[in-house]
Chains A and B, each alone.
Chain A
Amino acid sequence: MKIAVDQELCSGHGRCYSLAPGVFSPDDDGFCAEAGTEFVVPEELVKQAQLGVGSCPEGAIREIGT
């Protein structure tokens, strides 16, 4: 699973790193530290990541590949 976090859309709700702490982390402002990047999620964290993706109120996290 490959995902992209949109820097413009992330507004610091913090749902991603609360629900998927193995995949996302907060920066000093409480925004997603991975915003503005694309990365591959390790197989064992895919389920967690999906919960984070689906719970972002901004729709800022997208699955962009496998």
Chain B
Amino acid sequence: MQWKDTVDTTGNAERFGRDMFNDFDIDDPKFNDNFYDVLDDMVARCPVAHSTVGTGYHLINNYEDVRKAGQDWRTFSSAKGFQPNRGEGIPYLYPEESDPPYHTNWRRALNPFFAPENVNAMEESIRADANDLIDAFIADGKCEFVGQFASELPGRAFFKNLIGVPVEDLPMLLQAMDRHIYGPVAERGEQLGIALAYLGNYLKERSEQPSTGDLIDTIAAGVERDGETCPWEDRVSILTDLTLGGIATTTFVMSGAMLHLATHPEDRLTLAKDPSKIPNAVEEFVRYFPPVVALGRSVTKDVELGGYEFKKDDFVLLNYASASRDPKALDDPQRLDINRDKILHTAFGVGPHRCIGSHLARLELRVVLEELLRRIPDFSVEPGTTQEYETGVLRTMKSLHLVFGDQGDAS
């Protein structure tokens, strides 16, 4: 294979138990377990990595190359999906799995709901939910932060402020989305189907009521596709994609931030004393704990990038997680520095598919850290516990046991 000659793989397979440059598998637990080390090795000496899983795919790892590919949607198309080895017949998730001009039509309709001005109006609702969740465990002197807070808060914020779905249905949707992303490849379509069916029913019900012009009504009204109003299924797909992004991603940044603050008392003290430093810390946490590891594109014509000759119909993953740790773009990227003054990253993607919820995510993270640090200024990791992670095209933390006050272990 042509790439074998171009990349120095010395020590890679021995170190990780798998050749991460030539035989990568994003779903392999070895990647999950060696996450940062693999990313840093890729960004140091492997601009383009390769996978032989299924029909095979490639990874673009450096910041500049990820940016080029992300911006060049004509050559690196989203229309064939973001997951490698995507099952036949799985409906596409729009706007994520589409290209301009259809993509643009939807983003124009949806963007205003997610713009800072609209999102900032949700601050007090998010703050109230953060406090409700804290109320439920603060007297215990401890919590399992992912289950009791981080997996709940983004869903509540999204349901209450944007789509109006009952909060009681959050666990069911979270489970379906979780299995769609991290579950066995063969079952992913079925799991997505559960979310599509539920959200489709909800959208149908809402479409039969008078329009209020909110996000749901805007989705139900549809946009133009090839000269006509788009099919109904596309609108259900839009709602499902937004929900996936809204409930299944920010959890990891929140958990990562709390893990960092639990193990770095000096940073915790800095932010507790001066909350005006939280927004900058949030940006650094987003960079360092990327919920979206890598999303795919299909190559539409032969093209050279990162020293590799891509062929038409190749499938590539834009490795956002490694690009955010590229020393060519950012000084000392392996260090988490909440006081960093230039934070360049691709955690929200790059190009026209930039995460539509990025402003909401930043708001959630800021408000959550303000409230947690105000009410629980001192916390640490519960001794004897470890964190569990799960990684595929997304990454998340499955558990984080914290104890409050000085009873914990700061190490």
Contacts and interface: CB of A to CB of B under 8 A. Distances in A.
A9 B73 CA distance: 12
B114 interface: yes
Contacts of A14: 116, 358-359
Contact of A57 (B111, B341, B348, B352): B348
Interface in A41-64: 51, 54-55, 57-59
Interface in B33-86: 67, 71
Interface string A7-41: 00101111000100000001111110000000000
B342 A54 contact: yes
Given A54-B342, A57-B348, A58-B351, A26 B116 contact: yes
B348 A28 contact: no
A21 to B, nearest CB: 11
A59 B397 CA distance: 31
Interface residues of B, number: 23
Contacts, number: 54
A58 B71 contact: yes
B359 A30 contact: yes
B346 A57 contact: yes
B111 A12 contact: yes
Interface in B110-159: 111-112, 114-117
Contact of B117 (A26, A51, A58): A26
B345 interface: yes
B350 A57 contact: yes
A51 B115 contact: no
Interface in B338-356: 341-346, 348, 350-352, 354
B108 interface: yes
Mostly, the A contact residues are loop
Contact of B345 (A11, A28, A57): A57
Contacts of A31: 111
Contacts of A57: 67, 344-346, 348, 350, 354
A55 B343 CA distance: 6
A11 B114 CA distance: 13
B265 interface: no
B348 A13 contact: yes
B408 interface: no
A57 B342 CA distance: 11
Nearest to B348: A13
A14 B342 CA distance: 14
B393 to A, nearest CB: 19
A30 B348 contact: no
Contacts of B108: 29
A11 B344 contact: no
Given A14-B359, A59-B67, A28 B115 contact: yes
A57 B341 CA distance: 14
Contact of B352 (A11, A18, A28, A54): A11
21 contacts: A11-B350, A11-B351, A12-B354, A13-B358, A14-B116, A14-B358, A26-B116, A26-B117, A27-B115, A28-B115, A28-B117, A29-B112, A30-B111, A30-B112, A30-B116, A30-B359, A51-B342, A55-B343, A57-B67, A57-B350, A58-B71
Top 10 A-B residue pairs of the complex, sorted by shortest distance between their CB atoms: A30-B115, A29-B111, A11-B354, A54-B342, A30-B116, A29-B115, A57-B350, A28-B112, A26-B116, A29-B112
Given A58-B67, A58-B71, 14 more contacts: A11-B350, A12-B358, A13-B348, A14-B116, A26-B116, A28-B112, A30-B112, A30-B116, A30-B117, A30-B359, A51-B341, A54-B342, A57-B344, A58-B351
